[in-house]
Structure 1
Amino acid sequence: MAKRVETYLIDDITEVRGDSVRTRTLVIDGERYEVDLGDDSYGQLCTAIAPYLEAGRKAKTSRKANPRRHTLAAEASAADVRAWAKRRRIKVPTRGRIPSPIRQQYEAAHSPAA
């Protein structure tokens, strides 16, 4: 028997599935956010923040600030985090993005200092 698995993104604002939907990354006050947006929603976001971007300046970033976070997050799959959370009786969505607090708990539990 053949098995076919399809993965697609749904716009987090309009809840519409489409080929133009991509995961966008935002950093505000040092916190990193990811949101899945189609072209229309992304255009609305860009229009809304344009005055702030024009008034601001680009800041230099350093990947050395927290190198472990990037490597651990890349290694931990959503399935791994879900399984870990379920074993600890932490409510976790069965589909979609893992909430940041749960991923942070997972990372803290799996850090070398833990």
Structure 2
Amino acid sequence: MAKQIQEILIDDLDGGEANETVSFAIDGASYEIDLSVDNAKKLRDALSPFQQAARKSGAAATRRRARGGTRSMSREQSSEIRQWAKAHGLPVSERGRIASTVVEKYQAAH
């Protein structure tokens, strides 16, 4: 039997579909956030005045992942995995990306 798993990236701000993961750092902490094209532009526009006035420090590893033909999960499968994870005592958020370790454990069990 063939099985296809789709992973859908969810915008961490508004819950819609996200197109990319944006990385940024402030006060020594690095962050990643999954955003739609519009929300990513809003973030970059908001940070632009500070970025232009700032100086670069060190070689930060920047990575921005555009989502295209990658595997994505249906909402139904995401929901199923979340329910399974909760039933098995695994930490899983109500929305957003499901940790790959959780998905791997789910796949191994099914």
TM-score by length of 1: 0.52
Which residue pairs with 2:6 in the alignment?
A: 6
Deviant stretches of 4+, over 4 Å: none
Offset of 1:42 from its aligned partner? Answer: 0.6
Seen in structure 2, the aligned counterparts of structure 1 residues 58 and 15 have a Cα distance that, compared at 3 Å, is same
Which residue pairs with 1:46 in the alignment?
A: 44
* Aligned-partner residue type, residue 2 of structure 1: A
Aligned residues: 72
Partners of 2:34 and 2:58 lie apart in 1 by: 25
- Residue among 27, 52, 59 paired with 1:29: 27
Offset from partner CA, 1:79-103 (integer Å, 9 cap, x none): xxxx9xxx9x7x72167355xxxxx
Seen in structure 2, the aligned counterparts of structure 1 residues 57 and 4 have a Cα distance that, compared at 3 Å, is same
> RMSD of the alignment, in Å?
2.8
Offset of 1:60 from its aligned partner? Answer: 1.6
* Aligned-partner residue type, residue 28 of structure 1: I
Partners of 1:92 and 1:39 lie apart in 2 by: 29
Partners of 2:33 and 2:3 lie apart in 1 by: 29
Offset of 1:61 from its aligned partner? Answer: 3.1
- The percentage of aligned residue pairs carrying the same residue is 32
* Aligned-partner residue type, residue 5 of structure 2: V
Offset of 1:4 from its aligned partner? Answer: 1.3
Seen in structure 2, the aligned counterparts of structure 1 residues 55 and 39 have a Cα distance that, compared at 3 Å, is same
Offset from partner CA, 1:10-65 (integer Å, 9 cap, x none): 111121115xx1111111122111100111001100111111111111112378xx
Consecutive unaligned residues in structure 1, runs of 5 or more: 64-82, 99-114
Q: Residue 33 of structure 1 aligns to a residue in which SS? A: strand
Seen in structure 2, the aligned counterparts of structure 1 residues 49 and 97 have a Cα distance that, compared at 3 Å, is farther
* Aligned-partner residue type, residue 47 of structure 1: D
